[in-house]
Amino acid sequence: MTGPAADAALRHATGVLNSLTPEQLADLAAGRARLVFRPEPPATRRTRRPVTPEPERSSDVATAVETINRLADPAEVDDYLRRHDGRFTLPVLREIARGLGPTVRANGRNKTELRRDIVAGTAGYRTRSAAMSGGAWS
């Protein structure tokens, strides 16, 4: 048998063997122990959804994320997003929002909402945090 299923089974078997202690491996090699295949009953088998690869970020998205992270003022972020409005379609803005991290919501229904959330979650967030803690450390 060859193919992805055989490769997966071989990786699993190798993992099981790697988890054995040196004494268990010696017993197995000497014939004092054996590996047993025992299938799980159908009701307890776990099913896995196929893993979908994460799409690669375009260089436009990566550049936009870096640029927005460098901007300190919310107005600058808003201006940057408006200047590139033609390039930043709704799906691209969602990718940018995801790339900016957990402080930015990426589920806006339109470009206006996404721009607002990007501004609020980046420079706006930093500005509000600085205002709240202003003077607290001095």
Q: Which pLDDT tens digit goes with each residue over 55-98? A: 556 778 999 999 999 998 999 999 999 999 988 999 999 999 99
Mean of pLDDT values over 1-18: 81
Confidence band of 22 (pLDDT split at 50, 70, 90)? confident
Among 23-27, 45-49, 104-108, 111-115, which is the least confidently predicted range? 45-49
Q: Give CA–CA dist 15/10, Å, rounded.
A: 9
Check residue 119 and give its pLDDT: 92
Check residue 83 and give its pLDDT: 94
Phi/psi region, residue 58 (left: phi>0; alpha: psi -120 to 50; beta: rest), is beta
Q: pTM of the prediction?
A: 0.55
Closest C-alpha among 120, 123, 114, 44 to residue 85: 114
C-alpha torsion 104→105→106→110, nearest 10:
-120
Query: What is residue 38's three-state secondary structure?
Result: coil
Which amino acid does the sequence have at 85?
A: D
Check residue 114 and give its pLDDT: 94
Check residue 113 and give its pLDDT: 94
Check residue 131 and give its pLDDT: 76
Contact call for residues 61 and 84 (beta carbons, < 8 A): no
